[in-house]
């Protein structure tokens, strides 16, 4: 009997944890329904926006302002906004601010995070406490405006970059990622006579592509979607980024007049033009995100675990 019991025990499958058990069919069905509902809630509004931007203005009026599927598709709205007017100029401003701002913010964050991640750096703890203090107690709008004014950055593109050059959360994540790198690599490089700059460019940056991609995407999305700073600091409409022009189109129900045409104030904007601006402001992030999505788990979690 003892031998038989042992043989049965050997044939018995091991007990798996609860999270590895096969889900109940009702549970799987509920998950599938939830996924379908979420996809519909996300896809249908986006489809309506794209369809309205491609629809004929008469079809938009006939359908009450929104079109689910355009019967007579046309790119007239996109041709109008990309013909070199206000929207085209605002798009160039947003692209320039995003590229320059992302490069400057990523470079400043890398340098500061690397300095704070190195053990025994002079003034590392006080600077880190100061950084965390700004994270817990961010400056108000009035002090930030006064600082920008004293620096002479009002009504300039520098006002869209300098106040948000380094994000505290991104800095903490990148510092934690740098600290998770093997210290033996730095010790071996130091024995070979490498300087801190050499270790940063030849060791840290090549091994940190995941976190650099994630933080770079965070900065790019932040600069691309920013409109509040432009509304506060920029007075000249020709210097407005795309998101602020989009706000004027959608919320104010109008569009900015082209200064080169000699007109001033707001003009009425058709629904198709408004939705075309929305699509134009959304597409860049939608196109970039899938290529950087695979870095999210490795980049963010690795940097957030060790701080």
In this prediction, residue 293 carries a pLDDT of: 65
Q: How far apart are CA 15 and CA 33, in angstroms?
A: 30
Q: What is the DSSP letter of 13?
A: P
Of 149, 154, 156, the C-alpha closest to 238 is 156
Q: Which residues of 152-165 are buried (b: 16+ CB within 10 A; e: fewer)?
A: ebeebbbbbbbbbe
In this prediction, residue 13 carries a pLDDT of: 55
Count Cβ atoms below 10 Å from residue 242 Cβ, excluding itself: 28
Axis-axis angle for helices 86-117, 168-180 (nearest 10)? 40
**pLDDT values of the chain reduced to their tens digit, one per residue, 307 residues:** 555 555 555 555 555 565 566 777 787 888 889 999 999 998 888 888 888 888 877 777 777 777 878 877 888 878 877 776 777 788 889 999 999 999 999 999 999 999 988 887 888 788 888 888 888 888 788 888 898 999 888 889 999 998 889 998 899 888 888 888 888 888 888 888 888 888 888 888 888 888 888 888 889 989 998 889 899 999 888 888 988 888 887 776 555 555 444 444 444 457 777 788 888 888 887 787 776 666 665 555 554 444 4
Reduced to 3 states (helix: H, G, I; strand: E, B; else coil), residue 121 is coil
In this prediction, residue 265 carries a pLDDT of: 43
What string of DSSP letters covers 166-179? S-HHHHHHHHHHHH
In this prediction, residue 36 carries a pLDDT of: 93
Task: Please give the helix or strand (H or E) that residue 87 lies within, else none.
Answer: helix 86-117
Count Cβ atoms below 10 Å from residue 108 Cβ, excluding itself: 13
In this prediction, residue 267 carries a pLDDT of: 41
This model's pTM is above 0.85: no
Q: Tell me the pairing of strands 266-268 and 254-256.
A: antiparallel
Q: Helices marked H in 118-252 — which ranges?
A: 124-136, 141-150, 168-180, 183-191, 196-199, 209-225, 228-233, 242-250
In this prediction, residue 105 carries a pLDDT of: 94
Show the tokens assigned to 198. 């050499």
Query: What domains, with CATH codes, occur in the chain?
Result: 2-74 (no CATH), 79-305 (1.10.3720.10)
| Strand boundaries in the chain, DSSP class E | 254-256, 266-268
Reduced to 3 states (helix: H, G, I; strand: E, B; else coil), residue 9 is helix
Query: Phi and psi at residue 252, in whole multiples of 5°?
Result: -80, -10
């Amino acid at each position: 009997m003892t031998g038989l019991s042992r043989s049965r025990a050997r044939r018995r499958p091991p007990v798996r944890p609860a999270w590895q058990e096969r889900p109940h069919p009702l549970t799987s069905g509920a998950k599938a329904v939830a996924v379908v509902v979420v996809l519909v809630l996300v896809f249908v509004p986006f489809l309506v926006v794209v369809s309205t931007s491609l629809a004929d203005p008469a079809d938009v009026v006939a359908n009450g302002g929104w079109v689910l599927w355009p019967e007579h598709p046309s790119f007239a709205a996109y041709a109008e906004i990309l013909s070199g007017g206000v929207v085209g100029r605002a798009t160039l401003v947003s692209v320039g601010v995003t590229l320059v701002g992302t490069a400057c913010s990523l470079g400043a964050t890398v340098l500061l995070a690397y300095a704070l991640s190195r053990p025994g750096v002079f003034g590392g703890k006080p600077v880190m406490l100061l950084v965390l203090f700004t994270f817990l107690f961010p400056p108000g709008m009035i002090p930030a405006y006064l600082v920008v004014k004293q620096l002479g950055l009002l009504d300039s593109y520098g006002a869209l970059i300098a106040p948000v050059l380094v994000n505290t959360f991104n800095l903490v994540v990148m510092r934690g990622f740098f600290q998770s790198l093997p210290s033996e690599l730095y010790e071996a490089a130091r024995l070979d006579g490498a300087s801190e700059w050499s270790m940063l460019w030849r060791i840290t940056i090549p091994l940190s592509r995941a976190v650099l991609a994630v933080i770079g995407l965070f900065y790019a999305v932040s600069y691309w979607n920013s409109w509040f700073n432009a509304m506060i600091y920029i007075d000249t409409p020709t210097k407005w980024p795309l998101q602020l022009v989009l706000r004027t189109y959608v919320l104010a129900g109008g569009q900015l007049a082209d200064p080169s045409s000699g007109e001033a104030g707001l003009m009425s904007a058709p629904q198709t033009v408004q939705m075309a601006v929305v699509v134009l402001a959304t597409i860049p992030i939608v196109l970039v995100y899938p290529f950087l999505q695979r870095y999210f788990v490795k980049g963010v979690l690795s940097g957030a675990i060790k701080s």
